[in-house]
Structure 1
Amino acid sequence: MRKKTTVFLTLLLLFSSFFLIFEKTKAAQTLQFKPFFTETADEVLAQMSLDEKIGQILIFGFWGDSLDENFQTWLTTGELGNIKIFLRNVETGEQLQGLTNLVIALAAESEYGIPPFIATDMEGGTVNHIRFEGIPLAPSAGLIGASGNFENARNTARLIALTLLEFGINMNFAPVVDILTNPENRVISTRSYGSDPQRVYEFSKIFIQEHEKLGIITVLKHFPGHGMTSFDSHLFSDSVDISREDLFNVHILPYRKLIREGKTGGIMVSHIIYNDIDPEYPAAFSTVVINNLLREELKYDGLVITDDLEMEGSQGYAKDIVDAFILAFRAGNDLLLVAHTEKLQKKLLDTAAGLFKNGTLSEDALDQKVLRVLKAKKKYLSRFYTNMSFEKEHETALKQSAEIVEKASNEGIVLLTSNIEGSIPDYFKLTTEKNQKGLILSPNSDFTDNVKKHLPDWEVLDIGSFPERELNKKRAKEAQHLLKKYDIIILGFTSIRQIEWAEACIQENIPFAILSINNPLTPMRFADYTLFLATSFGPHSPATDALYKNVFETGVFTGIFPYHFDEIIND
Structure 2
Amino acid sequence: MKAMSNKLLPYKTAREKLTIKQKVGQLFMPAVFINDSEEEIIKIESLIRTNTIGAICFFHSRASAATNFEGKKDVIYNENSYERLKQLIKRYQKAADIPLLVAIDAEWGLAMRIENTNQYPYAITLGSIQEDNELIHEVGRQIALDCIKAGIHWNLAPVVDINNNPKNPVIGYRAFGDDKNEVTAKAEAYINGMKSVGVLNAIKHFPGHGDTDTDSHLGLPVIHKSRQELFENELYPYNKLIKKGVDAVMVGHLSVPGLDNSGNPSTTSPKIITDLLRNELNFEGVIISDALNMHAVSKKYSQNGALEANAFAAGMDMMCFSENSEEGIAKILSTASEHNIECSFRRLWKLKEKIFFEVNGKADLKCKSTSELNRKIASKCITELYGEPNNIKDFNKTHFLNLSIENHSKNFFSSEIESEYGKKRLTLNNLTIDEVKTKASQHQHIVLALFPPSVKPKNHFGFPRKLLDIIRSLIAQKNILIYLFGNPYVLDELGLKPDSNAVVIYQDFIEFQQEAFSHFSEKIQALGKLPITLKTFEA
Q: Same fold (TM over 0.5)?
A: yes
Q: Equivalent of 1:122, from 106, 118, 134?
A: 106
Q: Equivalent of 1:490, from 448, 454, 461?
A: 448
Deviation of the 1:480 alpha carbon: 4.2
Distance (Å, rounded) in 1 between the aligned partners of 2:309 and 2:385: 47
> Identity of counterpart residues, as a percentage?
23
Deviation of the 1:555 alpha carbon: 5.6
Partner of 1:8: none
Distance (Å, rounded) in 2 between the aligned partners of 1:552 and 1:316: 54
CA contact (8 A) 2:34 2:88 kept: no
After TM superposition, the structure 1 = structure 2 runs for residues 296-311 of structure 1, keeping only pairs within 5 Å, are 296-311=279-294
Deviation of the 1:441 alpha carbon: 2.2
After TM superposition, the structure 1 = structure 2 runs for residues 255-266 of structure 1, keeping only pairs within 5 Å, are 255-261=238-244, 263-266=245-248
Q: Which amino acid aligns with 1:485?
A: T
After TM superposition, the structure 1 = structure 2 runs for residues 21-170 of structure 1, keeping only pairs within 5 Å, are 29-30=2-3, 32-34=4-6, 36=8, 39-40=10-11, 42-65=12-35, 68-88=41-61, 96=82, 99-100=85-86, 102-104=88-90, 106-107=92-93, 110-111=96-97, 114-124=98-108, 128-133=111-116, 135-148=117-130, 149-170=132-153
Deviation of the 1:364 alpha carbon: 3.6
Distance (Å, rounded) in 2 between the aligned partners of 1:530 and 1:50: 67
Distance (Å, rounded) in 2 between the aligned partners of 1:44 and 1:294: 28
Q: Which amino acid aligns with 1:57?
A: L
Q: Which amino acid aligns with 1:355?
A: K
Q: Equivalent of 2:354, from 379, 394, 417?
A: 379
Distance (Å, rounded) in 1 between the aligned partners of 2:7 and 2:34: 32
Deviation of the 1:322 alpha carbon: 2.3
Distance (Å, rounded) in 1 between the aligned partners of 2:259 and 2:451: 38
Q: Which amino acid aligns with 1:124?
A: W
1:327-364, CA deviations, whole angstroms, 9 ceiling, x for partnerless residues?
A: 2222211111127xxxxx3xx2442343245x334444
CA contact (8 A) 1:490 1:514 kept: yes
Partner of 1:467: none
Matched, 1:277 2:259: yes
CA contact (8 A) 1:236 1:312 kept: yes
CA contact (8 A) 2:171 2:209 kept: yes
CA contact (8 A) 1:518 1:538 kept: yes
Distance (Å, rounded) in 1 between the aligned partners of 2:190 and 2:222: 30
Q: Which amino acid aligns with 1:120?
A: I
Partner of 1:458: 425
Partner of 1:11: none
Distance (Å, rounded) in 2 between the aligned partners of 1:354 and 1:154: 42
Deviation of the 1:158 alpha carbon: 1.7
TM-score by length of 1: 0.78
1:419-468, CA deviations, whole angstroms, 9 ceiling, x for partnerless residues?
A: 464768x524523xxxx5544222x13154542332362222438xxxxx
Distance (Å, rounded) in 1 between the aligned partners of 2:21 and 2:435: 65
Q: Equivalent of 1:440, from 404, 414, 417?
A: 404
State the SS of the aligned residue for 1:205.
Answer: helix
Q: Equivalent of 2:296, from 294, 299, 313?
A: 313
Partner of 1:249: 232
Q: Which moved more, 1:324-333 or 1:183-192?
A: 183-192
Alpha-carbon distance change, 79 to 514 in structure 1, aligned in 2, over 3 angstroms = farther
Distance (Å, rounded) in 2 between the aligned partners of 1:547 and 1:178: 29
Higher helix share: 1
CA contact (8 A) 1:137 1:541 kept: no
Partner of 1:182: 165
Q: Which moved more, 1:411-420 or 1:295-304?
A: 411-420
Distance (Å, rounded) in 2 between the aligned partners of 1:541 and 1:304: 39
CA contact (8 A) 1:86 1:129 kept: no
Q: Unpaired runs of 5+ in structure 2?
A: 63-75, 441-445, 455-459
Partner of 1:22: none
Deviation of the 1:378 alpha carbon: 0.7
Q: Which amino acid aligns with 2:202?
A: V
Distance (Å, rounded) in 2 between the aligned partners of 1:274 and 1:82: 29
Distance (Å, rounded) in 1 between the aligned partners of 2:336 and 2:508: 45
Distance (Å, rounded) in 2 between the aligned partners of 1:191 and 1:52: 36
Distance (Å, rounded) in 2 between the aligned partners of 1:565 and 1:506: 17
Distance (Å, rounded) in 2 between the aligned partners of 1:278 and 1:128: 37
Distance (Å, rounded) in 1 between the aligned partners of 2:314 and 2:344: 12
Alpha-carbon distance change, 69 to 220 in structure 1, aligned in 2, over 3 angstroms = same
Deviation of the 1:51 alpha carbon: 4.6
Distance (Å, rounded) in 1 between the aligned partners of 2:510 and 2:207: 31
Partner of 2:379: 410
Q: Unpaired runs of 5+ in structure 1?
A: 1-27, 340-344, 464-477, 567-571
After TM superposition, the structure 1 = structure 2 runs for residues 204-223 of structure 1, keeping only pairs within 5 Å, are 204-223=187-206
CA contact (8 A) 2:413 2:513 kept: no
Aligned residue pairs total 497
Alpha-carbon distance change, 285 to 552 in structure 1, aligned in 2, over 3 angstroms = farther
State the SS of the aligned residue for 2:135.
Answer: helix
CA contact (8 A) 1:440 1:491 kept: yes
Q: Which amino acid aligns with 1:275?
A: P
Q: Which amino acid aligns with 2:376?
A: K
Distance (Å, rounded) in 2 between the aligned partners of 1:361 and 1:257: 31
Alpha-carbon distance change, 234 to 83 in structure 1, aligned in 2, over 3 angstroms = same
TM-score by length of 2: 0.82
Matched, 1:516 2:494: no
Partner of 1:20: none
